[in-house]
Structure 1
Amino acid sequence: MAAEAAPCTKSSLREDLTCAICCDLFRDPVMLTCMHHFCKLCISRYWRGTQGPVTCPQCRKEFSSKHFQTNYLVAAMVEKVRATTSDTYVKNLEKQVKETLEDHRLKKEDLVNSVRRDKEKMNIIKRVGSDLEARVKGEYRALHQILLDEETCMLEQLRREQEEELEKAQRHLEAAEQALKELEENMEALQQCSAASGSVVLTELPHLRPCTQVDVTPDFDINAFSNKYVAPLGYIAWRRMLKSLKPGPSPLTFDTDTAHPNIHVSRDKTMAVECDVTNHPSHHSKRFLQCVNILAAQGFHSGRHYWEVDVGSSSKWDLGVASEAVDRHARIKLSPENGYWTLRLRKGNEYSAGTQPWTRLQLGSSPQRIGVFLDCDERKVSFYNSDDMSLLYAFTNGPRGKVFPFFSPCISDGRNKPHPIKLLHDLFIPLSA
């Protein structure tokens, strides 16, 4: 309505400021005592040669003398109308309308793309949620009726988190659609104003609604959303089922042929500790020579595997998995690029994932038992605090080919007694509530 009212108001004003004698905008407007206005020159010519009383050209009221008064306010209004109806002003106004319309068009295009991305993200959330739900159900079907309550609890958590993600996306979508609606209303007003400018002189922009500001569409972290649901759910539940889990964790033993000469391995090959005495000949091709490392005797190239390691109160260690082909005779940084997917501890409280560069981890407590989950088929390596099965870190671009569980008790500082690394076989300890 504002777009239609402005030209009509301007047209009426121009008529009010038009001289009834010359039919043009006033020039030096003067006012008679009857309140009618005329150009000073026009009324002077109209009365020229008249003897005696004169009359108003509009209302025919008679006056005893040729008297009029200059109206400076009307003069100022006339100059304003004359200025706003000039060709330059009209062209600038039309240009401003077009530029504003183009700006709104670009904003609309951005919002349309934002709405499209929101809808695509919501579809991804739904698809990932659906895939995860199917996977969770598949895991729990293998655990029989005893796991029904656990499955229901986990699915409820998944649905709740999926709903939270969808709600976030929905809120952003609604904000984007509202902003889009406001832009379209402004564009309609501008288009009506632009269409009206062909027949009516524009004097000002139509009233435009302020548009809602919409933040950039937040990213959806699929890995963060998925990790806990592609975790070793059977082992999490197994801690509550004691010995009901079949098959159980991988029963690892240390491979003494890979042990650095300064690593002592227990007779049952389940404990390794750094020592000053050389325990193994260094000529074996499988042996680590530069770093205090050791591998498990069991290697994996397919399937899903889980094992636990007791690191106790040691202030430094490395553990994870290593590719079969790693260089064992050189000092190499533990990173996926060099064939290692590891977690490490330094200085008693500095936990890091073996990425390049290191990824520092903020842990609420210091785990003494670490669970390692290897999914060869999906190339994932995950680390857990086995006390509560909380995820510590997950590599989502894991190894290809055959890998071996990897361990390093590290070199002790000489002030404290070296702490051993133990492979846990009897893991059936109830999980604390």
Structure 2
Amino acid sequence: MAESIDEEMPEEALPLQQDLTCPVCQGIFRDPVLLPCSHSFCRDCLQRSLDFNKKCPLCRVEFERGQDISNRALSDACETFLKHSTFRPNTKRPSEDTCNLHYKPLELYCEKDEEPVCVDCVSLHSTHRLFSLKDGAPMCKRELNFKVQIFEKKVELYKKTTLKLSNAVEYIKYQAGQAEKQIKVEFKRLHEALVTEEALRLKALAAEEEEKIAAIQELITSTNNNVTALNELIETIKNEMDNDDLPLLRNFQNLKRKAQWTNTDPALSYNSLLDMGKHVGALSFKIWKNMQAHVKYNPVVLNPNTASPWLSLNADLTAVKESSERLTVPDNPERFDPCVFVLGAEGYNSGKHRWDVVVGDNPKWIVGVCKSTVARKKKFTLSTNRGVWSIGLSKGEYTASTPERTVLQVEQRPERIRVKLNIDKGEVSFWDGGTAKHLVTFTHKFEDTMYPILGPGLNATPMTMAPGKIAVHTS
């Protein structure tokens, strides 16, 4: 900081003093620096000025930090002047109401820099509008009051958002309860099917066990009868052998005829034992294969978090219809509102995919695919330009969602619409799922993730995602 001369100087020294005075602090230069615009300032004064902007305090020409250089000639002149002059350092310290640069009262307000200044700062703000503190304070209060109003509105908005978030928490709990209920229902059904399968297999095992044991028991009985008959024959022969020679010889031929045994020797037959391969071989696979009758596969299931509040989905997310009243659901970003649509739960960005939608006799519906970025919170016309490739029925007319609304010629009213999506080939085609008749094909380079989209219209008849076929392949 420069030092100021408080005592009166000789009249002839005043011009020199003015030349050696810093225009900012109004004191003799101390460690002066020179700017590219040729103006000089105390190094500390310039540093304070840089806190506001990077312009020369006098001519307001911009400069970069580091372009200022030490003005050694001016510094030497100031030191010489101070040595031969009577002075005392300025020991005043700025207060809160005093300018940090000039130590004078802050009496003005700069509208551009939005700060109070002293009268000596006027040269630093020559192009700015300056007001008295009395006039400047209301201006600042008006602006702050406007900010307060904005913040108060935000407080109200945040309170409403907090309520919505609390409702979302309750809805998540409701979803968890519904999911838990559905999981238990499905596992109970499958468990009952497994118990039934187990009972049938145990019954078949017991039946074969009983059959095989009965066959062997019959063979044991037959063998025991043969043993008895053989023992009787042996006793008869032994008794005859004890006779005299002549009676034995006379009866030999008859005795020889009696000593014949034509019965088959007892032995286990083929397949006498249990067929273990039939009962326990690859048992889990056989059970799984038989469980196909109890398992339903859907290529597409619906995402309830995207469904319009006017749509109601069934428990396993395979059917959608109009709700009799607007449902209380969170206003999450992915939900359609006000448009009455719902998306599939899975998106596709490669490969081939196919699914059928049962539209039945609904008088109005939309079936197709759309980009993940399709609009959710505003009404829009379905079109390929909007990222939707679909066909629909409305007022008895079938149309494709081209920008010009292409009318489709349909001879027989389809009750099932088949959608074939080939991402790699860039095609999505629509077919009559009952007659396999082609309706229309769109071509496009699909670079976004594509989702099935349904619009059942406002009618009570549900649209249903048809189950797919299950095939077991082994190798």
TM-score when normalising by structure 2: 0.36
Larger Rg: 2
Larger RCO (CA under 8 A, 6+ residues apart): 1
TM-score when normalising by structure 1: 0.39
